């Protein structure tokens, strides 16, 4: 197998190598698009399965809306169309004829969904209305990178309508918390959560909340967003309801989503020199069994013992790699690149000793385990340990790479050095945020509390309004 | 609630009324597209869950390929592009600029997938390759009808590559059988299966197999298709492998798919005067409990008993309809329209008698059941009976409406009368098939055995080659 680039020296190439060698995806024959290969798509399917339950626990129901959005509908919310129309793919011909109205390929579905909500919502009894959609999305990105930024991607988008601003605030916050829980519990990815600054909010939103993870190269990665959309879309699409007093009101909307970018997040947060490291919750294969034999005479006996063991581990996702044409070393390498949490090795000596060798992918720790103890229960415990181990490592990394500074010098020494998150005072102006971004490539990821009295913006020197979380970002 | 049109008198309007009143879907603000409402989308989700397991049992793995197909890739297989390009939506602009190459929105994915297979397949060891994709599809249909024919629809498409024609034949047949089993076991929909005549095959295929169901208005409905694509796509996309002897060969492809059209199939096969009738396997709600009380004093007691009962039925998909603002009659009607297989009614008298009233949606049969017997086990048995009842009814209908004729007069008396399937001799020419279609609107759904000696084509009078299955069709 070809080598993977050094993660420390060339993180971007390491990232591409892992995707290729773990067989997650490849470039497609369409610019900026990828083919999700089976192993990569399985990660998305597993995320969907878990997240879909969490979404339904929020009281949302799944539905499906059209891929195409007519220009007239797209254009009704001015801020939104200004933000999204320039990055849309546009259908101008259908059935061999030029269309009388252009169709935008959805870059997100607020417009078409809220146009529909106008037909569904009449009374306060129809609220809250909570809808979720799993769908493909197209945004005409110029610089693309597999999973992290692609022309087409897969996502879920929740869309809700509420009677009051408070209820919409609560929903936006609940969705954010749901994502943070999912990131931590399912992906073993620690995240910081909070509000985006005004200039980074979703086009047409009142405000945007975000979960931010930290890649091992010190860059931030936005993992999910949740928006309180206010009443702008209600206004634009004529969504109205009669409140309990019989008065006509405009509902408050929220929308929230995560995408296949989470696969990229998983790679950059957990991956190591040997490739992917998958949390057991999401691993398509949780345990791989590799039979070890040198002579053909040993082969059948070892394989039989491996098959028997695999059969007893059924509730776990176990894979016996019995390919005769591959050496154990090749297999070790392949399953390490693919991030399988546990490896079991079994050879003639192990048969005699009635044991197996068990190797953890997160730490590389190796131990001998009596065969009698090699039960689903025991291995579930080890898988839990891997899950917690990955989270603990990522959490320690995030903590080590989160700093608080007061001067631009300290700021640049971190941002230009190891990277990571930096809390710094900000005067609340777009100009200062842009100045920092131009000088350092770091942007504001989240807003923190109000700034302490006397603290000053790093570039303008003006009194700070906020503590803001800065980082270079994907 | 508004009335549903008479199924006997105006089947098309009945169909639209059921979709509206069961809240399955509605017209979207884009021509020819629908919004899948939560109850309708849940049917698709349940189908996906079951069918996905069956697909994986075939050895196929899920993956995901781009929505857009560049014109240069689309055009490589001549028959295919001739069949599909005229009904494509075409993206000509992206990111605010005119594209140098047009992008087709996928009308099916053979082209982009086999272009990728060329990179994945090198040796006989890479075969068979079996990939499945769940995706949205766009075909520029002029006359649309919710679920049955829409501009955008959802489907799965299996794509496989094999070393020999025989293996591809076996795969195409296995996919057909999988669909037939799924139709019968999961949807309770009996189907006839077989080969399409040459003029009805998939563009670019060697041959097409199909499952055909029969709607209650006597029209056939194609429920799923499976194609042996031969080596045409291998040729067009340069897919090659070295066989065991080291010789370069072209693999044989198959593709097979079912779509959200199956929701329409479910409606037209099982629906009755009162609306939808859902097989319990697919019903989002299998049992609905309707509390009955006239006076407020009875309310709490009845509701408490209903809640307690609902709690004990957990493994089933049970819904307690406790809306205070709706009458029992309104609720009965609503859940009947929505096709819920079992209804439990519980009122003050039932509390005293320690019983419930149980009503089957498929037959309308009503019985009193002692509360002690109202267990998940007992109700599972009743649900099985509903499942079998729906299948038996549909099967009997199909048998009653399948005829064999030798003369055009008999043929038209059936096709213009009750409708249904008609086996008739056919001389194998496109001209005769078209003549029959022009005269009667009936088309050939499937080919049967070779015609018996001496039988003659209904229109040309020439010696028949095949028994062919004719019907008017959706």
Q: How buried is residue A65: exposed, middle or buried, by Cβ count under 10 Å (0-12/13-18/19+)?
A: buried
Q: Are strands A248-249 and A241-242 parallel, antiparallel or unpaired?
A: antiparallel
- For residue A34, which of A336, A347, A261 has the smallest C-alpha distance? A261
Query: Which of A296-300, A460-464, B417-421 comes out lowest in average pLDDT?
Result: A296-300
Rounded distance, CA A217 to CA A100, Å?
49
Report chain B residues whose CB lies below 8 A from the CB of A149: none
Residues 6+ apart with CB under 8 A from A243: A124, A163, A249
Range list of H helices, B160-231: 165-185
The dihedrals phi and psi of A284, each to the nearest 5 degrees, come to: -60, -35
- For residue B391, which of B222, B260, B221, B277 has the smallest C-alpha distance? B277
Q: Which two tokens stand for residue B33?
A: 């597209």
Report chain B residues whose CB lies below 8 A from the CB of A111: none
Count H helices, E strands: chain B?
A: 14, 23
Query: b/e string for B217-230 if b means 16 or more Cβ within 10 A?
Result: bbbbbbbbbbbbbb
Indicate which of B94, B133, B325 best probes the interface with A, i.e. most A CBs within 10 Å of its own CB.
Answer: B94
Q: How many residues does chain B have?
A: 474
Overall fold of domain A11-270: BirA Bifunctional Protein; domain 2 (3.30.930)
Rounded distance, CA A54 to CA B359, Å?
34
Cα angle value B422/B426/B427 (rounded, 5°): 175
pLDDT of residue A79: 87
CA dihedral for B26, B28, B32, B36, sign (positive or negative): negative
Q: Is residue A106 pLDDT above 80, yes or no?
A: yes
Chain A nearest C-alpha distance from B70 (Å) = 6
Please give the residue of chain B at the shortest CA–CA distance from A41.
Answer: B63
CB within 8 Å: A29 and B65? no
The domain ranges of chain A are 11-270, 287-382, 402-471
**Mean pLDDT, 10 residues at a time, chain B of 474 residues:** 89 98 96 97 98 98 98 91 92 96 97 97 97 98 95 98 98 98 98 97 95 98 97 96 97 98 98 98 98 90 96 96 94 98 97 97 97 97 98 98 97 97 97 97 96 93 96 97
The three-class DSSP label of residue B37 is: coil
Residues 6+ apart with CB under 8 A from A399: none
The three-class DSSP label of residue A211 is: strand
Query: b/e string for B107-143 if b means 16 or more Cβ within 10 A?
Result: bbbbbbbbbbbbebbeebeebbbbbbbbbbbbbbbee
Report chain A residues whose CB lies below 8 A from the CB of B42: 61-62
Which of the following CATH numbers is that of domain A287-382: 3.40.50.800, 3.40.50.300, 3.10.129.10, 3.40.190.10? 3.40.50.800
- Band of residue A296 on the pLDDT scale cut at 50, 70, 90: confident
Indicate which of B47, B95, B113 best probes the interface with A, i.e. most A CBs within 10 Å of its own CB.
Answer: B95
Q: What is the mean pLDDT of residues A219-235?
A: 97
Q: Are strands B89-94 and B152-162 parallel, antiparallel or unpaired?
A: unpaired
Residues 6+ apart with CB under 8 A from B394: B188, B189, B190, B214, B269, B270
- Band of residue A80 on the pLDDT scale cut at 50, 70, 90: confident
Report chain B residues whose CB lies below 8 A from the CB of A142: 95
- For residue B385, which of B319, B290, B289, B286 has the smallest C-alpha distance? B286
Cα angle value A12/A18/A20 (rounded, 5°): 105
In B163-274 the beta strands, taken as DSSP E runs, fall at 192-195, 207-214, 220-230, 241-242, 248-249, 252-259
Task: Yes or no: say if A189 and A220 are a contact pair by the CB < 8 Å rule.
Answer: no
- Band of residue A1 on the pLDDT scale cut at 50, 70, 90: low
Overall fold of domain A402-471: Translation Initiation Factor IF3 (3.30.110)
pLDDT of residue B409: 97
CA A318 distance to own-chain centroid: 25
Report chain B residues whose CB lies below 8 A from the CB of A66: 28-30, 33-35, 152
Q: Is residue A146 pLDDT above 90, yes or no?
A: yes
State the complex-level ipTM.
0.96
Task: Yes or no: say if A190 and A215 are a contact pair by the CB < 8 Å rule.
Answer: no
Q: Which two tokens stand for residue A445?
A: 């990821």
Rounded distance, CA B12 to CA B10, Å?
6
Which CATH code is given to the segment(s) B287-380?
3.40.50.800
pLDDT of residue B295: 83
Write the Ramachandran bin of A399: left for phi over 0, alpha for psi from -120 to 50, otherwise beta.
alpha
Chain B nearest C-alpha distance from A145 (Å) = 15
What count of other Cβ atoms lies within 10 Å of the Cβ of residue B463? 14
Query: Could you tell me the pTM of the whole model?
Result: 0.96
Instruction: Out of B30, B69, B93, name the one closest to residue A92 (CB).
Output: B93
The three-class DSSP label of residue B119 is: helix
Query: b/e string for A122-131 if b means 16 or more Cβ within 10 A?
Result: eebeebbbbb
Indicate which of A23, A30, A137 best probes the interface with B, i.e. most B CBs within 10 Å of its own CB.
Answer: A30
Report chain B residues whose CB lies below 8 A from the CB of A42: 61-62
CB within 8 Å: A103 and B89? yes
* pLDDT, greater one: B282 or A79: B282
Please give the residue of chain B at the shortest CA–CA distance from A95.
Answer: B87
Return the HEC string of B65-118.
CCCEEEHHHHCCCHHHHHHHHHHCEEEEEECCEEEEEEEEECCCCHHHHHHHHH
Residues 6+ apart with CB under 8 A from A24: A18, A36, A37, A39, A40, A43, A146, A147, A263, A267, A276
Place of tokens 């990131």: A183
Chain B nearest C-alpha distance from A129 (Å) = 11
CA distances from B457 to A149, A251, A300, B297 (A): 60, 65, 62, 74
The three-class DSSP label of residue B407 is: coil
- Band of residue A425 on the pLDDT scale cut at 50, 70, 90: very high
Q: Are strands B466-471 and B443-450 parallel, antiparallel or unpaired?
A: antiparallel
Report chain A residues whose CB lies below 8 A from the CB of B135: 136
- For residue A217, which of A2, A8, A71, A442 has the smallest C-alpha distance? A8
Chain B nearest C-alpha distance from A343 (Å) = 23
Chain A nearest C-alpha distance from B67 (Å) = 8
Indicate which of B27, B46, B52, B68 best probes the interface with A, i.e. most A CBs within 10 Å of its own CB.
Answer: B68
Strand partners, A136: A154
Range list of H helices, B110-252: 110-120, 165-185, 232-237
CB within 8 Å: B91 and A94? no
Side-chain half-sphere CA neighbours of B126 within 13 A: 19
Please give the residue of chain B at the shortest CA–CA distance from A131.
Answer: B38
pLDDT of residue B1: 60
Which CATH code is given to the segment(s) B403-471?
3.30.110.30
Q: How many residues does chain A have?
A: 474
């Amino acid at each position: 197998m070809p080598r993977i680039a050094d993660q420390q020296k060339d993180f971007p190439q390491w990232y591409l190598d892992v995707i290729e060698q773990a067989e997650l995806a490849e470039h497609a024959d369409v610019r900026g698009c990828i083919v999700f290969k089976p192993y990569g798509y399985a990660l998305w399917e597993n995320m969907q399965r878990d997240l879909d339950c969490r979404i339904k626990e929020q009281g949302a129901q799944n539905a499906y809306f059209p891929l195409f959005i007519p220009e007239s509908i797209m254009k009704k919310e001015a801020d939104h169309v200004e933000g999204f129309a320039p990055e849309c793919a546009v259908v101008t011909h259908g059935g061999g004829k030029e269309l009388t109205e252009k169709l935008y390929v959805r870059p997100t579905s607020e417009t078409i969904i809220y146009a529909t909500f106008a037909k569904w919502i009449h009374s306060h009894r129809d609220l809250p209305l909570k809808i979720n959609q799993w769908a493909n999305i197209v945004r005409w990105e110029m610089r693309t990178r597999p999973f992290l930024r692609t022309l087409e991607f897969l996502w879920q988008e929740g869309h809700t309508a509420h009677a009051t601003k408070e209820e919409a605030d609560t929903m936006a916050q609940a969705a954010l918390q749901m994502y943070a829980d999912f990131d931590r519990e399912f992906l073993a990815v620690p995240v910081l959560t909070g509000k985006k600054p005004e200039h980074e909010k979703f086009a047409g939103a009142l405000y945007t909340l975000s979960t931010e993870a930290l890649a091992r190269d010190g860059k931030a990665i936005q993992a999910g967003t949740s928006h309180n959309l206010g009443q702008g879309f209600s206004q634009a699409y004529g969504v109205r309801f009669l409140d309990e007093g019989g008065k006509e009101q405009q509902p408050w909307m929220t929308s929230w989503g995560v995408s296949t970018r989470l696969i990229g997040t998983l790679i950059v947060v957990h991956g190591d020199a040997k490739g992917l490291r998958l949390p057991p919750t999401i691993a398509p294969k949780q345990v791989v069994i590799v039979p070890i034999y040198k002579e053909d005479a040993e082969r059948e006996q070892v394989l039989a013992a491996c098959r028997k063991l695999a059969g007893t581990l059924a509730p776990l996702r176990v894979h016996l790699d019995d390919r005769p044409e591959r050496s154990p070393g090749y297999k070790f390498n392949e399953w390490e690149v693919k991030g399988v949490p546990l490896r079991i090795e079994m050879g003639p000596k192990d048969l005699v000793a009635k044991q197996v060798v068990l190797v953890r992918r997160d730490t590389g720790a190796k131990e001998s385990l009596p065969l009698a103890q090699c039960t689903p229960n025991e291995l579930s415990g080890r898988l839990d340990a891997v899950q917690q181990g990955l989270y603990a490592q990522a959490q320690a990394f995030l903590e080590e790479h989160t700093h608080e500074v007061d001067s631009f010098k300290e700021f640049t020494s971190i941002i230009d050095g190891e990277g990571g998150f930096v809390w710094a005072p900000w005067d609340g102006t777009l100009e200062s945020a842009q100045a920092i971004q131009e000088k350092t490539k770091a942007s504001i990821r989240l807003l923190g509390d109000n700034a302490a009295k006397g603290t000053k913006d790093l570039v303008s020197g003006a009194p700070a309004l906020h503590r803001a979380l800065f980082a270079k970002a994907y």
